[in-house]
Amino acid sequence: MSIFVVKLDLGGSGPTVAIKDTIDVAGVPTRAGSRAFEDAAPAAANAAVVDRLLAAGYHLVGKANMHELAFGTTGLNAWTGTPVNPRHPAYVPGGSSSGSAAAVAAGLAEAALGTDTGGSIRIPAACCGVFGLKPTFGRVSRDGVMPAQTSLDCVGPFAGDMDALIACMRAIDPDFGALPDTAGVTVGLVEVEARPEIRRAVEAAVAAGGFAAGRVVLDAFVRAYDAGLVVINAETWAACGELVATGRVGEDVAKRLLAASRTTAADVQAAEAVRAAFTAQVDEALRTFPILALPTMADAPPLLESGADTSKLVGMTSLVRPFNLSGHPAIAIPLQGAGDFPMSLQLVAAKGRDELLCAVARQIAGRLDQH
């Protein structure tokens, strides 16, 4: 199934957990799904989040497969193989944290860690029908995680239910506190382009959770999506560009890296202006509605047979990447049985309000289970 690139048997007798292969585990090479790192030396030390999981008694069962260099949204990988999407095998598993989401969906791990630069936790969570959290930017340590420098990337947990996700978050973030009361919390439904049945499922889930809702317009949303890619391109080229010359980077990722190399300082400066404007806009909306809701994906995931054609993948991250640019915490909640393809609800909270985000997500998920 290509879910694990390395199987592990480390740690305590607590919940099982898989670790994305951009996160260091001592004694195991960190290859980021790329043949460019085929000869990488074993990591000298654990990433901070791995040490925290071990200290909390978690049992590490494997390094999880991924889209090469975390630079893609489908999870397809010609070198390591593509993980099967366990619950929706006709569809791509989503990337870049494909193996982490698939491990949870397949029951091979009770939790998993991924990373999210432009949707790389929330997209595979949506494709595979599991929960996935991108915490507030900077909240969870990235010590021992590739790439070393980023203004977007976050380490976060996957799980099959909210209790397991909250427990994993509490393990990797020692400052994660008790969940607050959700009484009186209102939800802003963000106006976005998405399939009508997905929008209906999102609104129904919020209503099922018992939350009063209103409408929110973020007019910088599309510009934030575009600006996010500019920053991703600049930072990924800086981190990985030199690998193209090895000839060991897969053709699809090498093409994207070469295109990214053309990003200029002026492009980045313009993107940073959009970042500031969009962040302010989201902050303002969250002063009226403590939680924002929208789909995680605007359409069905690509079918496996079309996943290699990037021209058919436009919009896969259209609703998630803006919140990497702004740094707000965001969570993907599976909407099981809502349609003929996997659908997912995305919730967003103010920076540092990850506990409130999880409390609202837990309430909605619980009510959906009752239904």
Nearest-angstrom CA–CA distance, 100 and 128 = 10
Determine the Cα angle at 294 with ends 157 and 330, to 5°.
Answer: 25
Per-residue burial over 134-170, b = 16 or more CB atoms within 10 Å of its CB, e = otherwise:
bbbbebbbbebbbbeebbbbbbbbbbbbbebbbbbbb
Alpha-carbon torsion, ordered 88, 93, 97, 101, to 10 deg: 10
Nearest-angstrom CA–CA distance, 208 and 72 = 34
Which token pair is 6?
């390395």
For residue 31, give every residue at least 6 positions away whose Cβ sits within 8 Å of its Cβ, in sequence order, or none.
5, 21, 37, 38, 40
- Catalytic residue numbers, as ranges: 20, 96, 120
Round the CA-based radius of gyration of the chain to a whole number and report it: 19
Q: Which amino acid is at 103?
A: A
Dihedral sign computed on CA atoms, order 60, 61, 62, 66 = negative
Task: Evaluate whether 292 touches 309 at the Cβ level (below 8 Å).
Answer: no
Backbone angles phi, psi at 115, to 5 degrees: -130, 150
Long-range contacts of 174-179 (CB under 8 A, 24+ apart): 174/52, 175/139, 176/354, 176/355, 177/355, 178/355, 179/355, 179/356, 179/358, 179/359, 179/362
Nearest-angstrom CA–CA distance, 142 and 151 = 11
